[in-house]
Structures are given as structure tokens and as C-alpha cells.
Structure 1
Amino acid sequence: MALPHYRRAAARAKPESAPNVLTTTLLITAPAVIATAILRPRGSR
């Protein structure tokens, strides 16, 4: 019985990866948190 020759699989193109969920969350929430801290009314004392 003859065995088939080994052939390397064709290299697949890497799909363009989407940004990480954590990175996306931080990019959205960090500016909002900073703006809230800056714009928060200060006490009159």
C-alpha cells in the first residue's frame, strides 16, 4: 500500500483582528471618567 506524500497546508491569510474587548471598553470609559472628575462641581468649603 503506497502512502500519500505529505504536503504542507497552504498558509492562510490572517484575518484582520478586531480590537480587544478590554481595550475598547477602556477607550470608551476612561475619557468619560476623567471628564466627570474634572467637571464635577467642587464643594464651597
Structure 2
Amino acid sequence: MSYPPFRTRPRKAPPRGGPSLVSLTLLITAPAVFAVAALRPR
């Protein structure tokens, strides 16, 4: 019994032109940090 030759699947490239993962993370966390700082009791 012979196996077919092993081929690795090509990886999908990340979409170009969209925001990067770092900027998306900052876009979500920055307003939350500012809201916590503004609403913190003084």
C-alpha cells in the first residue's frame, strides 16, 4: 500500500488593508481604561 505524497496546505494570509490585531485591541481597551478612571470614586 502506498500513500500519496504529503503536501502542506498553504496558509491563508491575513487580510490586507484592515486594522491590525494590536490596533483593534487598543481600540477596545483604551475606552474601557478611560471609563474606569473617570468613574472611579475619589
Structure 1 residue 32 corresponds to structure 2 residue 32 = yes
| Count of residue pairs brought into register by the alignment | 28
Structure showing greater Rg: 1
Which stretches of structure 1, 4 residues or longer, exceed 6 Å deviation after superposition?
A: none
Q: Percent identity?
A: 61
Give the TM-score of the pair, scaled to structure 2: 0.57
Coordinate RMSD, CA, aligned:
1.6
What 5-or-longer segments of structure 2 have no aligned partner? 1-14
Return 5+ residue gaps in structure 1 as ranges.
1-14
Please give the TM-score of this superposition, normalised by the length of structure 1.
Answer: 0.54
